[in-house]
Structure 1
């Protein structure tokens, strides 16, 4: 497998590179005051909202944000939340409001006939374990307001706004792809100012970050502390101490846990336990199953059932 040249030394770049997502739901909303609706919780998904005209309120738990044109907000944990024109507007479930739905793209027209607002909203899921770990570091709410510091992101927002305003053939496909780019840009924008601590700090470390990238890239390799230390030109003892200090757990515990992240994904995709065990370097299906149960807390078959149940609820 060919990897981008920057990933040899930039584990943060590699983590961004695997921010590939699958769209669960996209919606272009044409709203008139008063309007409001409640979006359901979608565990495992990231909600995003882009205001392309007008204003609105976003309510997540006890937090209330006022959003204007060009504002972007992410709800990384997929919590249920409310969008409305003003505090007095009613907020029925979005599922109870008639809308035009085509596969996973919806057009919502809703409101009382007053001043207009338009938005693009969506819920996406990240497929790669590194991407999900990275998204898991985000705060409960990420607000990216209009700012000279977010110029490239604003360029993408302007393209989305143009597509919403002058929807042409293929416009829905363009909007969904631009929305995916926008989410990645927002996460990158957050990374530029986020504290480099914990796993993120480890990714940014030239040597430990490279070791993490090697494990993420090839989890089936017969890794040992000595092998990882040699790859990053450190002594075994110095590497082991620094890895534990930055990552928060010993190197081989991380390798095993990462393999189980990968295994959980493959179980959800329908691969057999025997094939997963072989591809992750285990000598037998039984050895893999014991390791999986120890790390994950349930058997591979139970994890497969749970993953499929979550996918059904989300999709």
Structure 2
């Protein structure tokens, strides 16, 4: 079963609170911007553990047992949180964080790094806070996934590491679903995830995500949401923090970076995304990133991939 199937089979069968046909809000995004998880620890963590912020790297920690202090951020903005129950800790972007456990009999963890396609420019990453600390009991259906994840991570069997990595990705999808349903509890106030939490705005956003090459006028997006232009524009700005026109262009350019990373030529990307020609894409790309598509690719290749956690 693919991750797409995991999302679609649940969301398409779940009843909607407003009586309307349920919609899949995540697949169009995750198909464009994939995420890869990689297990790097399972078992006790004792003493002081430091996880440095490195570009392109996120973390998903599951505190299975024990109590600890968590520090995140640096300098005067460093925050301290005491954790005393099984908790999921999602760091979607590069954020320095530290765990302070007893020197012996430390807390029990299962941990993975996360590689979001596009890194900090991934639209999911851009719309989430630096850290989400979520007690495991809050997410319906999570326990079954974690039981299998823990069973596979606690002993070596054929294919266990590959299976654990996939299960971490399933856990992430379940967390993202929860965030869409509970943006306030996740401290999400603006951005794509906030927009997807509104059933009306979600219809317009899904349409944009599925067809980045289309000409997304205000009228067309409002029609997808079933709202007037003025009401849609106001609600969209309040939820996402930007205008419908800016969002649709930004989505096109985010998709452009994904296609460029996959090896598409600038000319082909321009055609695929509905730009008049390659220079039109290059001008829009430069205004957004400060560099042309070719310069951006050169800088990306020079930077190289983030060093994996070991």
Decide which of 254, 259, 263 is 1:261's aligned counterpart.
254
Give matches, 1:197-236, under 5 Å.
Answer: 197-199=189-191, 200-236=193-229
Partner of 2:151: 162
Using structure 2 for the length normalisation, give the TM-score. Answer: 0.75
Cα deviations by residue, 1:50-79 (Å, 9 ceiling, x for unpaired)? 234555443223333444573221122221
Number of equivalences: 284
Decide which of 156, 161, 179 is 1:190's aligned counterpart.
179
Decide which of 11, 21, 39 is 1:26's aligned counterpart.
39
SS in 2 for 1:14: coil
Give matches, 1:229-244, under 5 Å.
Answer: 229-236=222-229, 239-240=232-233, 242-244=235-237
Decide which of 75, 80, 105 is 2:91's aligned counterpart.
75
Please identify runs of 4+ aligned residues in structure 1 that moved more than 6 A. none
Q: Which runs of 5+ in 1 are unaligned?
A: 90-113
Q: Which runs of 5+ in 2 are unaligned?
A: 14-19
SS in 2 for 1:263: helix
Residue 193 of structure 1: CA displacement? 2.5
Residue 217 of structure 1: CA displacement? 0.7
Partner of 1:181: 170
Q: Give the distance between the partners of 1:306 and 1:24, measured in 2 at CA.
A: 25
**Larger RCO: 1 or 2 (CA < 8 Å, sep 6+):** 1
Tell me which structure has the larger Cα radius of gyration: 1
Residue 157 of structure 1: CA displacement? 2.5
Partner of 1:48: 60
Q: Residue 218 of structure 2 contacts residue 229 of structure 2 at CA under 8 Å; is this kept in 1?
A: yes
Q: Residue 42 of structure 2 contacts residue 154 of structure 2 at CA under 8 Å; is this kept in 1?
A: no
Q: Residue 24 of structure 1 contacts residue 314 of structure 1 at CA under 8 Å; is this kept in 2?
A: no
Q: Residue 86 of structure 2 contacts residue 136 of structure 2 at CA under 8 Å; is this kept in 1?
A: yes
Residue 211 of structure 1: CA displacement? 1.6
Partner of 2:267: 274
Residue 254 of structure 1: CA displacement? 2.1
Partner of 2:139: 150
The Cα RMSD (Å) is 3.5
The verdict on how the C-alpha distance between 1:240 and 1:31 changes in structure 2, with shifts beyond 3 A counting, is: closer
SS in 2 for 1:208: helix
